[in-house]
Amino acid sequence: MKYPESFAGYPASIKEAKSETAKDWTPRDVLISTLRDLDEGKIKTENLIVCWSQEDPNDTSPDWHLTVAYQNKLEMLGVLLRVINYLS
């Protein structure tokens, strides 16, 4: 499957359009929604965090992953603190 160079104008999934909370979204819904907003200029940021977990077949605990893009380390730490407070 070939994906577009720009996600601007990419249609929302049914789950995304009808969801009341982020719990209804799939990880792919979240990524496409964010890419669409970035490409349409709705999000103008130099800082981004993408975190995910997946089951480790050799262990009982999940494997955690983090991908970060930032220009200012202090701003990124502030973003991380807001995420922690949001999830608390």
Q: For 5-25, write each residue's pLDDT tens digit.
A: 888 888 887 777 777 666 778
Closest CA to 46 of 65, 19, 73: 73
Q: Which amino acid is at 68?
A: V
Domain that holds residue 27: 1-44
Prediction pTM value: 0.71
Is the same domain home to 34 and 52?
no
38 shares its domain with 54:
no
Q: What is the pLDDT of residues 27-84, one digit of tens each?
A: 888 888 899 999 999 999 888 889 888 887 887 788 888 888 989 889 889 988 998 8
- Using DSSP's 3-state secondary structure scheme, residue 66 falls into strand
- The encoded tokens of residue 70 equal 């930032």
Count of structural domains, the chain: 2
**Closest listed residue to residue 69, CA positions, set 53, 42, 82, 50:** 50
Do 65 and 84 sit in the same domain of this protein?
yes
Q: Kindly give, in sequence order, each residue whose CB lies less than 8 Å from that of residue 19, ignoring residues fewer than 6 positions away.
A: 25
